[in-house]
Chain A
Amino acid sequence: MELRIDIAPNCSLSPAGAKRFMASIGLLSLPLSLVWAWRGFWPVLLYWALEMVALGMALRVSMGRRFESQTVRVTESQVSLVTRTRRGETHEVFARHWAKVRLVGARSAQSRSRLTIESRGRAIEIGGFLTDEDRRRLAARLRTVVGGMNESPPLEVNSTVGDPSR
């Protein structure tokens, strides 16, 4: 028996949608700036370029979440974790009996909580892109299936945290 938990952030904008948006705003504002530049008022074009870079970076940072996801698989003997980012995939495997789930709360309103699976000196973060509340729920869920050190509770059904459509 295997329990699988997929974790992904909620992103309502697709990469194609982001491209369409940037194209629409660029196509509207670039000709305007070019007209002013052509009339000799080139600083307008300079500010336009700066603004487009800022907008593009903001979209890229926010959409970076889309490339992040994790899958936790819990079997009778193992806890495996697949972490996907923009740079690729990493796999980690823990012996279920010796693994434990640890949630360290946020220290201030500006920081966030941190959820890890730990075993034999190794600690891997789970759900770094989730909200604190989602992370707390995930921690509670994982504790029921992974258990503490030297525990192997019975497995249950599949579940998903975040956006399962991705």
Chain B
Amino acid sequence: MAHAIEIAPDAHDAHAAHDGPDTGIRRWLFATNHKDIGTMYLTLSLIMFFVGGAMAMVIRAELFEPGMQLVDPAFYNQMMTMHALVMIFGAVMPAFVGLANWMIPLQIGAPDMALPRLNNFSFWLLPFAFTLLLSTLLVPGGAPAGGWTMYPPLALQFGDSFPMLIFSIHLMGISSILGAINVIVTILNLRAPGMTLLKMPLFCWTWLITAYLLIAVMPVLAGAVTMLLTDHFFHTSFFNAAGGGDPLMYEHIFWFFGHPEVYIMILPAFGIISEIIPTFSRKPLFGATSMIYATASIAFLSFIVWGHHMFVDGMPTSADLFFMLSTMLIAVPTGVKIFNWTATMWRGSLSFEPPMLFAIGFLFMFSIGGFSGLMLAMVPADFQYNQSYFVVAHFHYVLVPGAVFAIMGGVYYWLPKWTGNLYNMKLAKTHFWLSTIFVNVLFFPQHFLGLAGMPRRIPDYAVQFTDWNMVSSIGGFGFGLSQILFAIAIIQCVRGGKKATAEVWTGAAPHGLEWTIPSPAPYHSFQTAPEVR
């Protein structure tokens, strides 16, 4: 703890000291301040959200009616693949990293991230990675079209886009690993005096566990795509059956990374919801310690459930049983979380500001995704649901009203702290209600389509699926257009508005170090480490 020492004004020092950011492009290009880098991550994420969303609009427009209307099947497959890659690696993950950059130092009382220059490097890898990925749309053969999972031998038949895809995934992976390392080192080494691990806010806890997951699984993804590359260009046979390799093993390797990846995209969302609900319930989080253990349990279980993506691949019955039961086990810690959030709200003095609306929306709709996940975990049922639109409905319920709603809730929660201005509450609430209505119009009918037998990843379908596809597409366009309100609310808030207090949510008495500093958060916050009692 730094001892309070009186500052004697000094004309020479005051003149020479550089307290604010650089001006112009240098501020962003050479940014080392966690707030600037957080802002860049969040901006990139928003741009990618709209890019990936535009691809989704192409998909839904094509599926509005049976038959081929707007695009050819090859381009449809490219859109489907690129939509997934852009949304996962470009929108959701960078958004969480952006929130981590902004909030972790503020929440643990650190002056910045532990390794600021590494932080800058981690961010600047991403624009190059996505430029490379998106430029595959312009190369002969078009963009990757075999799905984001890149299963061989199909993936090995991509055109010139293949090495570009692999290189961009490597860049994204390096960025993720370096970001995770920075989060770990910051949380472990830069906590303010008195901020013990158990006193740490849930958002930091969930990020620490997420970073742990990233460290554990990213080498597996890097290894898998490198082996694809060597199979393609150097005639190795890791996954080539003709050379003694096993394409099925790629699926094992990919999903060994892929399932923890799902939790990498949802655990920080749990942290955000655990920050928002207590504030607007005006109660401490119910069972905070059990929330930490539940998060750690989910992370552990995420390593032993990958086989549930492969039930129809012909695994031994014992393996099917193991993966079915371990997958169902995840419902226990997840249930603990849902219970604790509900118990926090129970008899609380609730108010329904936009962050709380998004948190409650998350609670309801993530649970729908969780329940359909339980259905998919059952081996005999999965044999029916596999490769159907039911799966599409399931993971979109987890990722859109789950992860994306949590990100939006987090942005609405902390935006006044970042900008110093209150945003237009009416606009934000309109954004919430339109998003909630349309996201259900978009994804709920996909359950019916899947159960009726409509396969996923197809540009055309049998006529009996027309009605629900039309409803789903209308929901898609409505949801897409609603997001323009989100961008407007943010831009308006950045440009000005009613001034926010340090506490921002006056009356709700939010808990945490970030609410002890002024709004907007000063460029250099916690230069002297605060003491946590």
B313: chain A residues at CB < 8 Å are none
Q: Which residue of B lies closest to A24 (CB)?
A: B212
CB distance from B231 to the nearest CB of A (A): 11
- A105–B15 CB distance below 8 A: yes
Chain B window 12-54, contacts with chain A (Cβ cutoff 8 Å), 1 for yes, 0 for no: 1101111111100011001011000000000000000000000
- A55–B13 CB distance below 8 A: no
Tell me if B193 is interfacial: C-beta within 8 Å of chain A.
yes
A89: chain B residues at CB < 8 Å are none
**Interface residue total, chain B, C-beta cutoff 8 A:** 61
Interface 9-residue window, one of A10-18, A68-76, A78-86, A117-125 = A10-18
Tell me if B227 is interfacial: C-beta within 8 Å of chain A.
yes
Tell me if B104 is interfacial: C-beta within 8 Å of chain A.
no
Tell me if B436 is interfacial: C-beta within 8 Å of chain A.
no
Which one of B2, B20, B33, B227 has the greatest number of beta carbons of chain A within 10 Å? Answer: B2
Which one of B19, B190, B195, B223 has the greatest number of beta carbons of chain A within 10 Å? Answer: B223
List residues 35-94 of chain A with CB under 8 A from any CB of chain B.
Answer: 36, 39-41, 43-48, 50-51, 54-55, 58-59, 61-63, 65
* Bound CA span A148–B438, Å: 70
* Bound CA span A138–B2, Å: 10
* Bound CA span A29–B300, Å: 12
Which of A13, A140, A163 contacts B193, CB < 8 Å? A163
CB distance from B462 to the nearest CB of A (A): 40
Which of B195, B219, B230 contacts A47, CB < 8 Å? B219
- A132–B181 CB distance below 8 A: no
Tell me if A23 is interfacial: C-beta within 8 Å of chain B.
no
**Interface residue total, chain A, C-beta cutoff 8 A:** 61
- B1–A62 CB distance below 8 A: no
CB distance from B36 to the nearest CB of A (A): 9
A159: chain B residues at CB < 8 Å are 3, 5
List residues 117-158 of chain B with CB under 8 A from any CB of chain A.
Answer: 118
CB distance from B199 to the nearest CB of A (A): 11
List residues 303-333 of chain B with CB under 8 A from any CB of chain A.
Answer: 303
CB distance from B22 to the nearest CB of A (A): 5
* Bound CA span A111–B253, Å: 44
* Bound CA span A121–B19, Å: 29
Which of B19, B21, B115, B528 contacts A137, CB < 8 Å? B528
Tell me if A28 is interfacial: C-beta within 8 Å of chain B.
yes
B249: chain A residues at CB < 8 Å are 39, 41
B224: chain A residues at CB < 8 Å are 41, 44
- B17–A136 CB distance below 8 A: yes
Which of A48, A61, A106, A161 contacts B219, CB < 8 Å? A48
B115: chain A residues at CB < 8 Å are 58, 61-62
B21: chain A residues at CB < 8 Å are 109
Which one of B5, B15, B249, B528 has the greatest number of beta carbons of chain A within 10 Å? Answer: B5
List residues 123-166 of chain A with CB under 8 A from any CB of chain B.
Answer: 131-134, 136-141, 143-144, 159-165
Which of B2, B118, B182, B303 contacts A162, CB < 8 Å? B2
Tell me if B215 is interfacial: C-beta within 8 Å of chain A.
yes
CB distance from A72 to the nearest CB of B (A): 13
* Bound CA span A13–B184, Å: 11
* Bound CA span A109–B28, Å: 11
* Contact residues of A: prevailing secondary structure: helix
- B20–A133 CB distance below 8 A: no
B219: chain A residues at CB < 8 Å are 29, 33, 44-45, 47-48, 50-51
- A161–B5 CB distance below 8 A: yes
A50: chain B residues at CB < 8 Å are 219
A41: chain B residues at CB < 8 Å are 223-224, 227, 238, 249, 253
A48: chain B residues at CB < 8 Å are 219
- B13–A131 CB distance below 8 A: no
- B524–A132 CB distance below 8 A: yes
- B2–A58 CB distance below 8 A: no
* Bound CA span A106–B27, Å: 15
A45: chain B residues at CB < 8 Å are 219, 223
- B188–A137 CB distance below 8 A: no
Supposing A32-B220, A43-B226 touch, asked if A136 and B188 sit within 8 A by C-beta, the answer is: no
* Bound CA span A122–B465, Å: 84
Tell me if A25 is interfacial: C-beta within 8 Å of chain B.
yes
Which of A17, A105, A131 contacts B18, CB < 8 Å? A105
Tell me if B198 is interfacial: C-beta within 8 Å of chain A.
no
Chain B window 55-80, contacts with chain A (Cβ cutoff 8 Å), 1 for yes, 0 for no: 00000000000000000000000000
Tell me if B189 is interfacial: C-beta within 8 Å of chain A.
yes
- A10–B193 CB distance below 8 A: yes
- A29–B184 CB distance below 8 A: no
CB distance from A70 to the nearest CB of B (A): 14
A-B contact pairs, 24 of them (CB 8 A): A10-B2, A12-B188, A12-B191, A12-B193, A13-B189, A36-B220, A44-B224, A47-B218, A55-B184, A55-B215, A59-B185, A103-B12, A103-B16, A105-B16, A106-B16, A109-B22, A109-B32, A134-B528, A137-B5, A137-B7, A138-B5, A143-B10, A144-B8, A161-B3
Nearest 6 A/B pairs, CB to CB: A105-B16, A133-B527, A44-B223, A105-B17, A47-B219, A12-B191
User: With contacts A111-B18, A139-B13 known, what are 7 further pairs, Cβ within 8 A?
Assistant: A43-B227, A47-B219, A55-B181, A103-B10, A131-B111, A136-B7, A138-B5
